[in-house]
Amino acid sequence: MRLLFLACLSPKTGNCTTAERIRSHVEAAGHTCELRDVSEFQSAAEVANLVAQNPPFEGALAIHLFKAGSLLLDIQVPFGVIFGGTDINEDVKVEQKRVVMEQVLQKARFAVAFTDKMKEAAELFLLSQSCKIYVQPQGIKTEAAEKFCWAEFLKNSGVSREDVDDLNVFLLVCGLRRVKDPLYLVEAFSEWHCENPQNVLVIIGPKIDPVLTVEVEAVAKSRGLPGPGEEPTGASCRLEEELRCGKQLGLGGHVRRHLGGHGCWGARGGQGHSRECSRGAE
């Protein structure tokens, strides 16, 4: 089955990483999947013309009902959509966008939400299409590499402790950018860390927004905490590789059941990020 897959493919973003995971599993299941950036198209008519070209596409997928799904409204083949956080948290507040999202949901063969709350919000804010919405968590399963050293990784992250087994380490995979601002979490976690120094927060992710990165560094410095380090080496690189190779719970069977394909497919791999900011003992 030949599928067109539309998504926002800005580098180092969750959308881009998720889209690549899904594409790889669609192809691993024996389908052909062409992943395209929504920025390449100006209208739904352009996408309809692309789908009808020889050889034609037999189905389509999209991440984000408004940004990508709206470009599929004119195609004559079945398609599925995957809710993005922007759909539910922002776009439903704009009447013009909400109307378009309802049209996309009505025409789609199926829709996937990553959480129960996202599905509930979709049912609340959009016309009821409950039977079409499936909840598929983005769970990541990883296995530690044989040569990975947890103590070395924490030391490279700025956590200076001899006995790391007693630490409660919370790992946040998060590229530093304003729309995913982790500052509120850093400030709240600082209070918790002061109450119990064994609670440690480690953030790994690229410096997407230089201005926000400076703010995060300032917050860490004001509390006497380790700031962002250099590019990852050694243990940090190995953890990054583990995140990329992790297996994510699949968006199983939707192509086969709803678009007429064969076999099951899913999404895998965590976002591959370099270490960005760490929290350790004061």
**235 C-beta neighbours (distance < 10 Å), count:** 21
Cβ pair 81, 62 in contact under 8 A: yes
CATH code of the domain occupying 2-137: 3.40.50.2000
Tell me, what's the pLDDT at 83? Answer: 93
- Per-residue model confidence as pLDDT tens digits over 102-123: 999 999 999 999 899 999 999 8
Q: What is the pLDDT of residue 41?
A: 96
* Residue ranges, CATH 3.40.50.2000, the chain: 2-137
**How confident is the model over 222-240, as pLDDT tens digits?**
765 554 443 443 334 444 4
Measured over the CA atoms of residue 146, residue 150, residue 153 and residue 155, the dihedral's sign is negative
Residues 6+ apart with CB under 8 A from 40: none
Residues 180-187: what's their mean pLDDT?
A: 72
Supply the pLDDT for residue 179: 72
What is the rounded average pLDDT for all residues in the chain?
76
Distances (CA, A) of 100 to 107, 121, 127, 214: 11, 16, 11, 38
Q: Is the confidence at residue 243, as pLDDT, over 50?
A: no
Q: What is the percent of the chain where pLDDT is above 70?
A: 73
- Give the type of residue at 97: K
Look at residue 177 in the predicted model and tell me its pLDDT: 76
